[in-house]
């Protein structure tokens, strides 16, 4: 039983948006931990998180879980 070609392409696109390399995952989690502890996070790191969150639901959920819904409400229109 074969799957339609479009279905395979959709799955590949979905995988690309949710999968992170180990290096990226560790970097994101370290930044989020510092944000939770109210430690210093550079503007560059905040921009990096924002860009990843705009394309990755996984990162967006990590941020929402760590910082609460009020942290993501500001940019919610961008992600929907």
pLDDT at 59: 92
The pTM assigned to this predicted structure is: 0.66
pLDDT at 67: 86
Q: Give domain limits for the chain.
A: 20-79
pLDDT at 68: 82
> pLDDT for 11-56, tens place per residue?
444 444 568 999 999 999 999 999 999 899 999 999 999 999 889 9
Give the burial class of 53: count Cβ atoms within 10 A of its Cβ; 0-12 exposed, 13-18 middle, 19 or more buried. buried
Instruction: Give the chain's end-to-end CA distance (angstroms, integer).
Output: 35
Tell me phi and psi for residue 74, to 5 degrees.
Answer: -60, -45
Cα(49)–Cα(28) distance, integer angstroms: 7
SS3 state at 39: coil
């Amino acid at each position: 039983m074969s799957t339609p070609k479009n279905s395979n392409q959709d799955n590949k696109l979905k995988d690309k948006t949710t999968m992170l390399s180990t290096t990226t995952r560790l970097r994101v989690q370290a930044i989020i931990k510092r944000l939770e502890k109210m430690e210093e996070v550079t503007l560059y790191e905040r921009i990096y998180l924002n860009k990843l969150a705009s394309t990755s639901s996984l990162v967006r959920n990590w941020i929402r879980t760590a910082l609460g819904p009020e942290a993501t409400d500001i940019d919610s229109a961008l992600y929907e």
